[in-house]
Structure formats: C-alpha cells, structure tokens
Amino acid sequence: MQIGLVQMQMSTDLEANTQAAIAGVRAAAAQGAQIICLPELFRSLYFCQSEDHAHFALAESIPGPSTERFAALARELEVVIIASLFEKRAEGLYHNTAVVLDADGTLVGKYRKMHIPDDPLFYEKFYFTPGDLGFQVFQTRFARVGVLVCWDQWYPEAARLTALRGADLLFYPTAIGWHPSEKAEYGVAQHQSWETIQRSHGIANGCYVVSVNRTGHEGDPAGGIEFWGQSFLSDPSGTILTKAPVQEPAILVTPIDLARLDVQRTHWPFLRDRRIDAYGEITRRYID
C-alpha cells in the first residue's frame, strides 16, 4: 500500500490552513496514497507558545465541523485520513486529539494525547487535559493503525502498548522545532534524538513509523519556534524510506509492504522473548 505524509506550513488564516490540508490530502491521494496523515494541530498556528485564554476559541467538538469536512473528503477519495484537532469536550475540558477517518468517511475513533509537555514555548498543560482513552489501534480498510501525538513519541511504553494491540503502523502527528537561540549549539543533537527515538520504536516493535511535522517559523520574529520539518517514514528495521525537507511544505507518498512485519518479527523476535513476568515495576514512578 501507499502512505501519504502531508508536511505543512501554517498561517494565521484558519480556513487557508484547512484548505491547504485538503489540497495536501488530494495531492497525496492523486499519487496513490491510501492512508494520509496531517501534522499536529494543523488548523492554526501552534498557539501553545503562550498561555492565552483566547486560544480556547480554536477548539471544536468531535464529531464536529472539521471531522465532517475531512470525512467527506475521505469518502470522496476513498482514503484513510489521520487528522489532529483541538477538541472541546466540555466547558473547561479540552484535549489534543487525533481522529481516524476510514475510506468510507466513517469516524473509526479518536486518540487523546496522553503525554502533555510543559516546556518554554510548548505550554500544552495550560490547554490540554491528558488523554483518558488509553493507547488504541484502529482497524481501517487498509491496515491497523496506531496513532500517538508528538510528545508521546519520546515514550517507549506508548509505542509498545500500541504495538501490542496489533498496530501495523505507528503514526505521530507532530509539531516540534528549534528555539532559534539554541539551534546552533543543540539543533543537530535535538533533531537526531527525535528521529532516533522514533526509529527505535519501529525496531523494538517490528512496525512502520510515520512522523508528520510542520515547517516554518512561528511566533516572535526574534524568538519563537522554527519547526524543523523533516517528516519521515521508517520501516520495521528502522530504515528511513522517505524524508521531507527542513524548510518547506512537502507531500510524500511511499510504498510499504505489510508482509515485512511478520518477517521482521520472526527474524528479530523481540515480542516472543519479552519477560512479561519481570516487568511489574514499570508502573512505578521511580525505583528507589
């Protein structure tokens, strides 16, 4: 099958961002993509750079306006769409949520981001309640997809539990970049760490990994965040099959072979050799 990655650069215009996402999905589908993933919170600029109550107005219900638009698009193109949205669950209760829309337009389900960061210019704890739906896998027309979101990508536990539910692919809609003041000293190491940890999830679990980032500078011209793009797809051995550029939007469509999963997992039988009888302490915060 073919997997589509839509790397985007956002503007202040919500409708323009949505139209760019729709155009990206159409372009990927025209190239043969059957499962297509958009970046984290693609409808707007990355608003978590500040703590501002006005930004809660960006949230919407699920199902809601965006799921309706993208469900119609999925149905028209007969593709699976993974879309990251700012969910308003109730007054004062908001989530960073990814939805999976099947190729007939059905809302298969949603995943609420479990790990919520609180770092300079990434003040997500102000906006998002941690997810309460657990780690999930969604059966779509083409494959079983696991969806995690951005900060989740640093946690082997999240990838493992999703893979153990039967995921063929792990999708990570993402918004990550450099603080410009840190880029010269730390930029290469930060990006390499980000890429390496995700590739390692594919190796440890014998599955494909799809990470879809945004690109471009957002926020204070003298500071802000320079999103580093470089969306990528890696195979069950951790080999990168495709990678987007740093500084521009991109549509990537890449073939994968699900038969690779069984071959990888039988030749590198990590799931077989797990010592599940010895891992009870993993649920402790720290072992003193």
pLDDT one-digit tens code per residue, 66-95: 999 999 999 999 999 999 999 999 999 999
Known catalytic residue: 150?
Answer: yes
Least Cα distance to 82 among 195, 191, 231 occurs for: 231
SS3 string of 112-166?
Answer: ECCCCCEECCEEHHHCCCCCCCCCCEEECCCCEEEECCHHHHHCHHHHHHHHHCC
117 close to 125: Cβ distance less than 8 angstroms: yes
C-alpha–C-alpha distance, residues 112 and 118, integer Å: 17
Question: pLDDT for 231-277, tens place per residue?
Answer: 999 999 999 999 999 999 999 999 999 999 999 999 999 999 999 99
DSSP designation for 64: S
Q: Are strands 137-139 and 118-119 parallel, antiparallel or unpaired?
A: unpaired
Q: Is residue 149 part of a domain?
A: yes
Q: Would you tell me how many other CB atoms lie within 10 Å of the CB of residue 288?
A: 4
> What are the pLDDT digits (tens) for 219-232?
999 899 999 999 99
The structure tokens 């059966």 sit at 139
The one catalytic residue among 37, 88, 110, 150: 150
Residues 137 and 164: their CA atoms lie apart, in Å, by 9
Residue 159 inside a domain? The answer is yes
Structural domain contains residue 283:
no
Q: Which of 99, 100, 101, 134 is nearest to 115 (CA)?
A: 134
Domain assignment present for residue 46? The answer is yes
What are residue 175's phi and psi, to 5 degrees? -140, 95
CA distances from 195 to 7, 24, 191, 235 (A): 16, 23, 6, 13
Strand partners, 172: 211
Q: For residue range 130-173, what is the model confidence (pLDDT) as tens digits?
A: 999 999 999 999 999 999 999 999 999 999 999 999 999 999 99
Q: Would you say residue 160 lies in a domain?
A: yes
Mean predicted lDDT score pLDDT of the chain: 97
pTM beyond cutoff 0.85:
yes
Tell me the average pLDDT across 172-200: 97
Output the pLDDT for position 222: 87
Tell me the mean pLDDT in the region 19-25: 98
Number of domain units in the chain:
1
Neighbours of 13 (CB within 10 A): 12
Is 113 contained in some domain? yes
Q: Running DSSP on this structure, what letter comes out for residue 271?
A: T
In a domain, 69, yes or no: yes
Catalytic residue among 37, 48, 110, 113: 113
CATH number at residue 142: 3.60.110.10
Residue 286 predicted with pLDDT over 90: yes
Give pLDDT tens digits for 109-132. 999 999 999 999 999 999 999 999
Cα(37)–Cα(48) distance, integer angstroms: 21
How many angstroms separate the CA atoms of 131 and 152, rounded?
11
Question: What residue has token string 């297509």?
Answer: 36
Active site annotation includes 76? no
Residue 36 region, left (φ>0) first, then alpha (ψ -120 to 50), else beta?
beta
Is 48 a catalytic site residue?
A: no
Does residue 11 form part of some domain?
yes
* Residue 133, phi then psi, degrees to nearest 5: -100, -5
What is the pLDDT, as a whole number, of residue 203? Answer: 98
| Domain encompassing residue 203 | 2-274
Catalytic residue among 37, 40, 110, 218: 40
